[in-house]
Amino acid sequence: MKFDTILEYQSVDRELLAIESEVAKSKERAVLVNAKAKLEAATAAVGKLNHDAAELLANYARLSARAEQLKAKLDEFDGILEGVADVNEADYYLRQIGAINDEVTALEKDAAKDAERIDAIAAEYKKTWEAGKKASDAYKEAVAAYNAFAADMQPRVAQLKAELAKLEGKVPAEFMAAYKSLRAAKKTPAFVAYKPESGTCGRCFMEVSGATRSKLKNPGDHAECPNCRRILYIPEE
């Protein structure tokens, strides 16, 4: 019979799809997805803290280096006013010294803020690392549970896949191509019986066009449903 092999293939594949759906909707799968999300979030948080700490340390080092440069420059002014008789010259040096002192003070304040933030990050990092370790342990447990659950299905899955492989070579190429395309689009079953008495698709139940009806008159005829794109066929006697 023209459609026997593809319909048998479809039947076997639908059982395989049902198993895949059961696995995808299982509690074990949901726990695994949740555990993975938490682990990824913890990993991202640790990565951000590392990045922030590295930036702060680099900035702290720059501020400290600049402060040391300015302090060295202040040392150059040490005793310089003792030999200055001109008031304007003395005022110039005093303003220079004042400006350097102000910058040093500002740098030290910024460096102190960075140091406080680094300490806060260190404390936060410890808590985040511990949370990440727990998330990692939970993820490993979830993977083990999911794999054990999926392993129970594997013998039947392997059997079904073997049956599909044997059947595929017997299915007409055009039918196989149409089936795989529809399966990829999640339109299963892909091959459905046409209802000539109502002129409707056996799956979407929409009325087909006159052009499509004209292709579906005799047993063995087939055509694409203009609404859902499934393959309509008239069963052979």
CATH of the domain at 26: 1.10.287.1490
User: With 90 as the cut, is the pLDDT of residue 222 above it?
Assistant: yes
40-98 per-position pLDDT tens digit: 999 999 999 889 888 888 888 888 888 888 888 777 767 766 766 667 777 776 787 78
pTM: 0.67
Do 96 and 128 belong together in one domain?
A: yes
CA–CA distance, 179 with 6 (Å, rounded to integer): 8
Do 154 and 64 belong together in one domain?
A: yes
Which has more pLDDT, 210 or 110?
Answer: 210
Torsion sign (Cα): 181, 187, 189, 191? negative
CB of 229 closer than 8 Å to CB of 187:
yes
Do 124 and 215 belong together in one domain?
A: no
Do 42 and 85 belong together in one domain?
A: yes
- For residue 93, the model assigns a pLDDT of 65
Structural domain including 223 reads: 177-233
Q: At what angle do helices 87-168 and 27-76 cross, to 10 degrees?
A: 160
Give the count of domains, the chain: 2
Which has more pLDDT, 235 or 87?
Answer: 235
Mean pLDDT estimate for the chain: 90
- For residue 108, the model assigns a pLDDT of 82
Among residues 106, 138, 111, the alpha carbon closest in space to that of 41 is found at 138
Do 217 and 153 belong together in one domain?
A: no
Among residues 110, 128, 144, the alpha carbon closest in space to that of 51 is found at 128
Do 112 and 229 belong together in one domain?
A: no
Do 155 and 78 belong together in one domain?
A: yes
Q: Look at residues 120, 147, 170 and tell me which one is the last residue of a structural domain.
A: 170
CA–CA distance, 127 with 121 (Å, rounded to integer): 10
176-199 per-position pLDDT tens digit: 999 999 999 999 999 999 988 899
84-112 per-position pLDDT tens digit: 666 777 777 678 778 888 888 888 888 88
Strand pairing partners for 233? 193, 222
Q: Could you tell me what percent of the chain has a pLDDT over 70?
A: 96
- For residue 191, the model assigns a pLDDT of 97
- For residue 19, the model assigns a pLDDT of 95
Do 95 and 14 belong together in one domain?
A: yes
- For residue 2, the model assigns a pLDDT of 84
User: With 70 as the cut, is the pLDDT of residue 26 above it?
Assistant: yes
- For residue 85, the model assigns a pLDDT of 67
Greatest CA separation for the chain: 124
CB of 204 closer than 8 Å to CB of 177:
no
Do 124 and 77 belong together in one domain?
A: yes
CA–CA distance, 95 with 103 (Å, rounded to integer): 12
Rg (CA), the chain: 38
